[in-house]
């Protein structure tokens, strides 16, 4: 059975609730993942234009609303790989960390080694998952060295088809691409521009400039999913672009339907 992690828990709350109502979340959904609007720590697609600055009450409410599944797994994206040391003490990020860094079922996705060191010194109980922005750009040996250095805090990694880390013996979450962005040779440059926009609280998204015509066809998505499933049965999703949110969720719904059909076929065998 595939354990899916629902994406974009804050900005796409309504879409996620639709999926929970439509499918049996106890069998399909393993947890939630995402970031908050205008969080400079966000390491994925810039969705600042989908909301306003988040109030403390919204931080608590947005995760509590998923209570029936978030008891399993909640991942907060702090995967911006272009942070400077002065960014580490960001006031909004501190609020999120103070609330969730000690929770046993909450994990923080991180892509910056220096940020990891700072977080562990400041929040000794924090649980970390290495963000795809780290694993995509480092070798297995480098990843293994970092895990060993902070073995008490690093609980797993995000793997992609770019780097499946087949020789690493650690918990893995497979990131399923719905578009071809990660396979593009311009991705590192786009990621840098996107990350800098997030750091400056801009609403402009570099990725959205090319996302609209770069979705993978469904057969390729399922092929990629099967490749990931050779290494892990926990699956999360790639960047959710605000401009194409309906298309993303149409694809995600089809993936869930495919999984249910596979389960039914296996039961008949």
At 11-53, the pLDDT tens digits run 888 888 888 888 866 567 888 999 988 899 999 888 777 666 7
> What's residue 115's pLDDT?
98
> What's residue 67's pLDDT?
74
Give the C-alpha separation, 31 to 74, whole Å. 6
> What's residue 5's pLDDT?
92
Q: What is the pLDDT of residues 118-138, one digit of tens each?
A: 999 999 999 999 999 999 999
| Of the candidates 75, 83, 82, 93, the residue with the CA atom closest to the CA atom of residue 8 | 75
* Selected residue with higher pLDDT from 235 and 21: 235
Q: If pLDDT is split at 50, 70 and 90, which confidence band does 72 have?
A: confident
Give the C-alpha separation, 255 to 81, whole Å. 29
Packing angle between helix 91-100 and helix 56-64, nearest 10 degrees? 40
Phi-psi region of 34 (alpha: psi -120 to 50; beta: other; left: phi over 0): left
Give the C-alpha separation, 133 to 43, whole Å. 7
The string of DSSP letters for 194-258 reads: HHHHHHTT----TTHHHHTT-BPPHHHHHHHHHHHHTT-SEEEE----GGGHHHHHHHHHHHHHH
**Domains (range + CATH), the chain:** 3-268 (3.20.20)
């Amino acid at each position: 059975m595939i354990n899916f992690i629902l994406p974009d828990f804050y900005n796409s709350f309504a879409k996620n609730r639709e999926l929970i109502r439509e499918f049996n979340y106890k069998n399909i959904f393993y947890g939630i993942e995402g970031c908050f609007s205008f969080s400079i720590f966000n390491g994925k697609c810039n969705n600042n234009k989908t909301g306003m600055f988040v109030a403390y009450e919204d931080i608590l409410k947005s995760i509590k609303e998923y209570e029936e599944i978030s008891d399993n797994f909640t991942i907060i994206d702090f995967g911006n790989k272009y942070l400077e040391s002065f960014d580490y003490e960001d006031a909004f990020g501190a609020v999120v960390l103070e609330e969730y860094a000690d929770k046993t079922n909450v994990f923080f996705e991180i892509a910056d080694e220096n940020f990891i060191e700072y977080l562990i010194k400041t929040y000794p109980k924090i649980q970390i998952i290495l963000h795809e922005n780290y694993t995509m750009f480092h070798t297995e040996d480098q990843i293994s060295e970092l895990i060993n250095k902070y073995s008490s805090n690093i609980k797993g990694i995000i793997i992609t088809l770019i780097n499946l880390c087949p020789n690493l013996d650690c918990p893995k979450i497979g990131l399923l691409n719905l578009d071809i962005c990660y396979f593009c040779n311009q991705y590192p440059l786009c990621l840098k521009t996107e990350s800098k926009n997030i750091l400056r609280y801009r609403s402009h998204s570099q990725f959205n400039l090319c996302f609209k015509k770069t979705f993978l066809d469904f057969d390729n998505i399922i092929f990629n999913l099967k490749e990931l499933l050779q290494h892990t049965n926990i699956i999360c999703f790639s960047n959710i672009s605000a401009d194409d949110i309906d298309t993303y969720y149409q694809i995600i719904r089809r993936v869930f339907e495919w999984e249910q059909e596979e389960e039914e076929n296996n039961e008949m065998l």
